[in-house]
Amino acid sequence: MNTLKGYPVGLIENFDLYAPKLVDREEYFSPGHRACQGCGEALAIRLMCKALGKDTVIVNATGCMEVISSMYPTTAWKLPWIHVAFPNAAAVASGVDAALKALHRKGRIPDRYVKTVAIGGDGGTVDIGLQALSGAMERGHDMLYVCFDNEAYMNTGIQRSSATPFGASTTTAPAGVASMGNKTWKKNVPEIMVAHNIPYVATACQSYPLDFMNKVQKARAIKGPSYIHCLSVCPTGWRCPSEACIKMGRLAVETGVFPLYEVENGKYRMTVSMPEKLRPIQDYMKHQGRFRHLTPDQIKIFQERTNLEYKKLLNKIEHSKSWAEMSAE
């Protein structure tokens, strides 16, 4: 049962064993929320809130997290929280940021920095929410946007999104005799965010809690736009056992499917060191029912494309320079 067995790479270099004892014990996301057992996204939210602290306003798009946490007349949130609609988390957050700025300037709220954080699933971010996200990032609002990517429209029943990986079976792009499931490659939204020239973009995963929390704190400290794309394992939608939630995230990283990196002012850096040789993607796929139907040929295509995307990333990590460095040249 223990994930340590059979791993070529020890966990210690990426995970300080006793570090959880140093994490703030305050819980800002109370138990009693209605997430599925073993929900990676709920865990990610809990970790994110710990890293943000209490001087935060959360703007939530419609989705799993909004629905399971805010069933009137109760709420799991101990932070100020607002939900408006599905495509507009970034737009609502733009308004919150502007209001806090104006009210602070006019002395109508206490003189203390309060961070605006917008959160949404892959549905509310990479598809229907992309316009608002792009607008907010382009305008340079002081806000952090965290996308909790469980790779499909999970809340409405596991429908395909543009973040759904190649070959995954979803309810609107199901596997069948005439179809292999999702035919397209995952949309690279972190790259889109880098193209908006914002100071900080990162990928994260709830299976690497300290890496994720460090990134959240780094982003929180930036007085400008920042974006974190957090892979959130969904045992229900990915069709794996609930206890394998953390393991799936690790496998996603170690197979190169979802490397964890950050882009700080244009400079790419891997934040969780990768194995010398990537694990084969079968290691990742074999545990998940959504990939069960794939043929060896299709897996080969996935493997080759994963290798290519990983190479692209390594290339950027090796050759990218920070903007400050480039201006000084």
Partner 1 sequence: MANKKWPENWQDVTPGCIVSEPGSASQYHTGDWRAQKPIWDNTKCIKCGVCYIFCPEGCIIEKEDGFFEADLDYCKGCGICAHECWPLAIKMVEEG
Partner 2 sequence: MGKRKGMEIALAAAEAAALCRPDVIAAYPITPNTHIPEHLSDIVAEGRLDAEFICVESEHSALSACMGASGAGARVFTATSSQGLLYMAEIMAIASSMRLPVVMALGNRALSGPLNIWNDHSDIMSQRDTGWISLFASHGQEVIDMMIQAFRIAEDRDVMLPVNVNLDGFQLTHVVEVMNFPLQEEVDAFLPVYKPYASLHPDHPCSMGTLGLPEIFSEATRAREAAIVNSRKTILKVWDEWEKRFGRRYEPIESYKMEGAEFAVLTMGSMGETAEVAIDALREKGVPVGLLKLKLWRPFPYEDLKKAVKGVKSLIVMDRAVSFGGPGGPVASEIRSALYDEPSRPDLTNYIFGLGGRDVTVEDFIAMIDKVRLADKKRPKEHYEFYGVRGE
d(CA 309, CA 61): 29
Among 7, 15, 36, 99, binds partner 2 (CB under 8 A): 99
Scan for tokens 């819980």, then name that residue. 27
Q: Is residue 91 within the footprint of partner 2 (CB under 8 A)?
A: yes
Q: Is residue 209 within the footprint of partner 1 (CB under 8 A)?
A: yes
Strands 261-264 vs 226-231: parallel, antiparallel or unpaired = unpaired
* Residue 130 and residue 206 in contact, taking contact as beta carbons nearer than 8 Å: no
Q: Which is nearer to partner 2, 73 or 296 (CB)?
A: 73
* Residue 38 and residue 242 in contact, taking contact as beta carbons nearer than 8 Å: yes
Minimum CB distance to partner 2, residue 268 (Å):
28
d(CA 19, CA 317): 27
d(CA 211, CA 101): 30
Quickly count: other Cβ atoms within 10 Å of residue 219's Cβ. Answer: 27
Please work out the total of residues on this chain that contact partner 2, with binding judged by CB under 8 A.
48
Interface of this chain with partner 1, residues 219 to 248, rule: CB under 8 A: 235, 241-247
Q: Is residue 223 within the footprint of partner 2 (CB under 8 A)?
A: no
Q: Which is nearer to partner 1, 39 or 202 (CB)?
A: 39
Interface of this chain with partner 1, residues 151 to 170, rule: CB under 8 A: none
Minimum CB distance to partner 2, residue 28 (Å):
9
Contact of residue 244 among partner 1, partner 2, none (CB under 5-8 Å per partner type): partner 1
d(CA 56, CA 47): 14
Q: Is residue 80 within the footprint of partner 2 (CB under 8 A)?
A: yes
Q: Is residue 147 within the footprint of partner 2 (CB under 8 A)?
A: no
Whether the link from the prior residue into 73 is cis, omega within 30° of 0, is yes
Quickly count: other Cβ atoms within 10 Å of residue 297's Cβ. Answer: 9
Q: Is residue 6 within the footprint of partner 1 (CB under 8 A)?
A: no
First to last CA, the chain: 53
Which residues, at least 6 apart from 221, have a Cβ–Cβ distance to it below 8 Å?
Answer: none
Minimum CB distance to partner 1, residue 111 (Å):
23
d(CA 100, CA 105): 8
Name the nearest CA neighbour of 23 among 208, 203, 210: 210
Strands 143-149 vs 115-121: parallel, antiparallel or unpaired = parallel
Q: Is residue 66 within the footprint of partner 2 (CB under 8 A)?
A: yes
Q: Is residue 275 within the footprint of partner 2 (CB under 8 A)?
A: no
Interface of this chain with partner 1, residues 12 to 71, rule: CB under 8 A: 17-18, 20-21, 23, 25, 27, 29-35, 37-40, 42-43, 46-47, 69-71
Quickly count: other Cβ atoms within 10 Å of residue 50's Cβ. Answer: 19
Q: Is residue 1 within the footprint of partner 1 (CB under 8 A)?
A: yes
- What's the token pair of residue 290? 């959504």
Minimum CB distance to partner 2, residue 89 (Å):
9
Minimum CB distance to partner 2, residue 329 (Å):
33
The binding site for partner 1 (CB under 8 A) comprises 1-4, 17-18, 20-21, 23, 25, 27, 29-35, 37-40, 42-43, 46-47, 69-79, 209, 235, 241-247
The binding site for partner 2 (CB under 8 A) comprises 54-57, 59, 66-67, 70-73, 75, 77-85, 87-88, 91-103, 105-106, 108-110, 114, 131-132, 134-135, 138-139
